[in-house]
């Protein structure tokens, strides 16, 4: 790495993260025979541990994505003794082992033992149980991108019955959820064979703790292999990680929120139907689709304008031939009660109007000789250079041109595509250093730059961003994430369920996927079973792919129970009515159901804002005492009430579903009550996917509306008896940041199972109305 890049890297690092200089000092920095161990806290259940051979490295502040201003040592006390150093709070105890006594190395150790001084430590939870035992660390010398550096790693004991989750988006599994026994490459990789991988290096254990691994280079995660769990990062001069303990998911994720940032409440429109396609070619087509939704009275909140509405890649303009009046188009959408999202790419082709300016300013990703990288030959990629969003000035430039040239035409929200970035940075250089060292930071910095710009531009209109990748802290940017350009296949659908559950377990609560798959749709099928959906009327879109309407129908049913519901795909048509009358009737029913669920969903958004915990979550979070749920990645909880088991096989009309122990369950469609703690075979005709409601649940259902632009009354309050229950029904204006100031309504619904009575407090109007809209199942 040349001196020019080293100077720029240091300056950028200081400006972006302050190197911790303005933050509180660590609780202690310990010398273990030349291995320096620095300890600081982020509240009573979070410790940050940094280990290095160079004391200056151990004292550097945390890296990208971390919020050092939230460091808080107040609840910890430090003591030293013969058994090492202890750091104790009411929720956590960290003990760093003493340095071992010097001794003569054995013959083997002379040649093969690490040269670094050993460091061991243990973390205990509030009950005193050891939840984490670090057994070793290492810095292995290597040269990366011309820079002498190290592979940085740490190893931990894997308990025999321990299970591991999170670590971002990995699409290799078609069902099993537990990462134990697997080795994952935690790096952004668009071309991953099973679907794009996204690195969010936050691992959550079934033992009641999580590890935030603080290194943005490509990282290997080894999960419980031969009794060992390890993180190995490709570039680094230290080992830095956070340990978060908690007896509930909410305690763990609230700690994660202190370390990396809170998850804001999205605009209410984000919970409605989002209609997209690759691509709507004109404003006439967009308005025609929007008007058809209103004519058919199918609820819709957002229309999306995908790529190539511009005249040239990187022009940051709107083609006047196909979009002669974008502001008028957006006004018509707004008049229909809809909003709009527009795709803005970070790429600039050499013949575009901004390329020379950006090149001269050094605002692009560079090669080792300082020349702008233009596309990727190995991918036949000729889409131009990548804006270097690690450079604050480049980020500001990009935001201002996006704002002035595109968003100013009445578009409500941006779609930031290619945020991995798709132009792989390995071997190249950002302003802050090598793309190898900072492989995973682009989606955070690129998205956060736009988010900050949006908040400054319209300070009381909530930001919403579609983003294709994430990193630590990305949840704080107001982004909705999705699983990238997946295939329109049954296999891809099956992969989405465990993929999404480990992504949300990584602290990224707002995750979804392209309903129906994005990639080009083959116009024939290999299916051998008779389609369950009549394909007649879909031929213009699907050709002879007769089972695709069935696939899309099943996918849409699944999407109804995702944090975001967005139709998309590289097809001639992508709307509800484009796949035959049979598919249309079923999807329209689920579209209406989605809108009935918005009061329930929006209340979950408030819970996630409060705690950071996802509301689409694997079963182990809610049923930790049931060992049978540890590896189930084919079904999940959607808020506190729903258990959802999507259908992912063509021609399938029944499905095996596990009902967790510790509760009774109601079939959502039939209201049949069933005992938990067992597998059951559930009927799954084409108009139903298995959905169950936990006994004791209170489910508020909204009145029919065409979009969230209309105020939605509560039409029904369903009670599923069997145990006492509570529900916090939350609402606000759905568009502003006033919720951050507490401007909202919160009705507390409480079910007394013994008395058979529901009480409502906090909302006098709902309390008055409640007796007429309560429906108790079984009565």
CB-based contacts of 46, cutoff 8 Å, min separation 6: 92, 242, 243, 244, 245, 255, 258, 259
Nearest to 579 by CA among 606, 542, 554, 613: 542
Question: CA–CA separation, 323 vs 465, rounded Å?
Answer: 22
Q: Give per-residue pLDDT as tens, 399-445.
A: 999 999 999 999 999 999 999 999 999 999 999 999 999 999 999 99
pLDDT band at 23 (very low <50, low <70, confident <90, very high): low
pLDDT of 110: 77
16: enclosing H helix or E strand:
helix 3-17
Query: Are the C-beta atoms of 247 and 209 separated by less than 8 Å?
Result: no
Q: Give per-residue pLDDT as tens, 500-509.
A: 999 999 999 9
- What is the phi/psi pair of residue 608, to 5°? -70, -40
Q: Give per-residue pLDDT as tens, 189-211.
A: 999 999 999 999 999 999 999 99
Q: How far apart are the first and last CA of the chain?
A: 73
Q: Is-cis flag, bond preceding 421, omega within 30? A: yes
Query: Are the C-beta atoms of 776 and 761 separated by less than 8 Å?
Result: no
Query: Are the C-beta atoms of 309 and 322 separated by less than 8 Å?
Result: yes
Q: At what angle do helices 581-596 and 598-611 cross, to 10 degrees?
A: 50
DSSP state of 352: S
pLDDT of 426: 96
pLDDT band at 129 (very low <50, low <70, confident <90, very high): very high
**Residue 122 confidence (pLDDT) above 90:** yes
CB-based contacts of 410, cutoff 8 Å, min separation 6: 326, 327, 329, 330, 331, 334, 340
Burial class, 69, CB count within 10 angstroms (exposed 0-12 / middle 13-18 / buried 19+): exposed
Question: CA–CA separation, 636 vs 634, rounded Å?
Answer: 7
- Which residue is listed with tokens 């995973």? 440
Q: Give per-residue pLDDT as tens, 286-344.
A: 999 999 999 999 999 999 999 999 999 999 999 999 999 999 999 999 999 999 999 99
Which string of DSSP letters, residue by residue, matches 597-631?
THHHHHHHHHHHHHH---SEE-HHHH-TT-GGGTT
Q: Are strands 673-675 and 678-683 parallel, antiparallel or unpaired?
A: unpaired
What does R_g of the chain's alpha carbons equal in angstroms? 26
Nearest to 85 by CA among 77, 96, 74: 96
CB environment 424-453: b (16+ within 10 A), e (fewer): bbeebbbbbbbbbbbbbbbbbbbbbbbbeb
Question: CA–CA separation, 222 vs 231, rounded Å?
Answer: 6
Question: CA–CA separation, 133 vs 131, rounded Å?
Answer: 7
Q: Give per-residue pLDDT as tens, 95-110.
A: 999 998 888 888 887 7
Nearest to 299 by CA among 554, 591, 629, 696: 591
Question: CA–CA separation, 340 vs 329, rounded Å?
Answer: 10
Q: Give per-residue pLDDT as tens, 441-495.
A: 999 999 999 999 999 999 999 999 999 999 999 999 999 999 999 999 999 999 9
CB-based contacts of 539, cutoff 8 Å, min separation 6: none
Question: CA–CA separation, 181 vs 681, rounded Å?
Answer: 29
Q: Are strands 202-205 and 209-213 parallel, antiparallel or unpaired?
A: antiparallel
Nearest to 515 by CA among 266, 267, 173, 278: 278
**Residue 14 confidence (pLDDT) above 50:** no
Three-class SS of 105-136: CCHHHHHHCCCCCCCCEEEECCCCCEEEEEEE
Query: Are the C-beta atoms of 256 and 202 separated by less than 8 Å?
Result: yes
Query: Are the C-beta atoms of 745 and 733 separated by less than 8 Å?
Result: no
- Which residue is listed with tokens 């911790």? 20
Question: CA–CA separation, 601 vs 599, rounded Å?
Answer: 6
Tell me the average pLDDT of the chain. Answer: 95
**Tokens at 249, concatenated:** 């998911």
pLDDT band at 19 (very low <50, low <70, confident <90, very high): very low
């Amino acid at each position: 790495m040349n001196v020019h890049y080293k100077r720029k890297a240091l300056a950028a690092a200081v400006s972006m993260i302050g190197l911790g200089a303005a933050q509180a000092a660590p609780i202690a920095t310990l010398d273990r025979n030349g291995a320096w161990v620095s300890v600081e806290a982020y509240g009573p259940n979070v410790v940050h541990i940094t280990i290095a051979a160079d004391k200056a490295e151990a004292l550097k502040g945390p890296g990208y994505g971390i919020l050092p201003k939230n460091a808080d040592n107040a609840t910890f006390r430090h003591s030293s003794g013969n058994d090492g150093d202890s750091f104790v709070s009411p929720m956590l105890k960290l003990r760093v082992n003493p340095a071992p006594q010097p001794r003569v190395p054995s013959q083997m150790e002379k040649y093969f033992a690490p040269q670094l001084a050993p460091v061991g430590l243990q973390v205990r939870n509030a009950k005193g149980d050891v939840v984490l035992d670090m057994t070793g660390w290492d810095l292995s010398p290597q040269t990366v991108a011309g820079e002498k550096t190290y592979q940085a790693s740490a190893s931990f004991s894997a308990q025999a019955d321990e299970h591991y989750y999170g670590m971002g988006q990995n699409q290799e599994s078609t069902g099993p959820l537990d990462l134990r026994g697997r080795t994952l490459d935690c790096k952004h990789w668009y071309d991953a064979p099973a679907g794009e991988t996204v690195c969010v290096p936050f691992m959550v254990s079934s033992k009641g703790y999580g590890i935030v691994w603080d290194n943005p280079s490509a990282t290997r995660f080894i999960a419980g292999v031969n009794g060992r769990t390890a993180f190995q990062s490709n570039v680094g001069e230290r080992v830095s990680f956070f340990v978060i303990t908690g007896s509930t998911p909410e305690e763990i994720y609230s700690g994660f929120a202190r370390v990396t940032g809170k998850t804001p409440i999205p605009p209410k429109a984000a919970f409605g139907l989002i209609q997209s396609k690759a691509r709507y070619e004109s404003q006439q087509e967009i308005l025609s689709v929007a008007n058809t939704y209103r004519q058919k009275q199918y609820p819709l909140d957002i229309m999306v304008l995908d790529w190539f509405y511009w005249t040239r890649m990187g022009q940051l303009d709107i083609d006047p031939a196909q979009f002669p009046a974008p502001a008028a188009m957006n006004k018509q959408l707004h008049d229909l009660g809809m909003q709009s999202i527009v795709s803005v790419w970070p790429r600039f082709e050499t013949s575009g109007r901004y390329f020379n300016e950006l090149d001269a300013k050094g605002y692009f990703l560079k090669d080792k000789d300082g020349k702008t990288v233009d596309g990727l030959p190995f991918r036949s990629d000729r889409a131009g250079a990548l804006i270097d969003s690690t450079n604050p000035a480049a980020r500001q430039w990009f935001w201002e041109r996006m704002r002035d040239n595109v968003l100013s035409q009445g578009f409500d929200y941006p779609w930031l595509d290619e945020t991995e970035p798709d132009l792989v940075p390995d071997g190249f250089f950002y302003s802050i250093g090598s793309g190898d060292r900072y492989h995973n930071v682009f989606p955070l910095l690129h998205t956060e730059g736009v988010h900050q710009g949006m908040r400054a531009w319209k300070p009381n209109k909530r930001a919403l961003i579609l983003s294709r990748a994430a990193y630590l802290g990305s949840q704080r940017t107001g982004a909705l994430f999705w699983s990238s350009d997946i295939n329109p296949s049954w296999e891809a659908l099956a992969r989405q369920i465990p993929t999404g559950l480990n992504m949300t377990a990584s602290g990224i609560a707002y995750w979804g996927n392209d309903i129906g798959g994005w990639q080009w749709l083959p116009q024939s099928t290999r299916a051998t079973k008779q389609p369950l959906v009549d394909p007649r009327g879909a031929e213009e879109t699907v050709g002879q792919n007769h089972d695709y309407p069935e696939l899309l129908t099943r996918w849409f049913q699944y999407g109804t129970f995702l944090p975001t519901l967005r139709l998309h795909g590289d097809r001639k048509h992508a709307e509800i009515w484009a796949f035959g009358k049979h598919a249309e009737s079923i999807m329209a029913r689920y579209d209406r159901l989605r809108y009935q669920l918005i009061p329930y969903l929006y209340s979950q958004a408030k819970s996630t804002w409060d705690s950071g915990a996802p509301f689409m979550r694997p079963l182990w979070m809610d049923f930790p005492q049931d060992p049978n749920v540890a590896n189930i990645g084919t079904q999940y909880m959607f808020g506190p009430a729903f258990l959802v088991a999507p259908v992912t096989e063509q021609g399938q009309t029944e499905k095996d579903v596990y009902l967790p122990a510790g509760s009774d369950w109601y079939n959502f469609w039939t209201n049949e009550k069933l005992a938990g703690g067992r597998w059951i075979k559930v009927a799954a005709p084409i108009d139903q996917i298995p959905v169950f409601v936990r006994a004791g649940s209170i489910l508020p259902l909204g009145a029919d509306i065409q979009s969230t632009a209309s105020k939605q009354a509560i039409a029904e309050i369903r009670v599923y008896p069997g145990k006492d229950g509570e529900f916090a029904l939350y609402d606000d204006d759905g568009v502003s940041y006033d919720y951050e100031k507490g401007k909202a309504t919160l009705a507390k619904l409480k079910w007394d199972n013994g008395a058979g009575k529901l009480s409502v407090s906090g909302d006098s109007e709902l309390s008055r109305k409640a007796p007429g809209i309560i429906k108790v199942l079984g009565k």
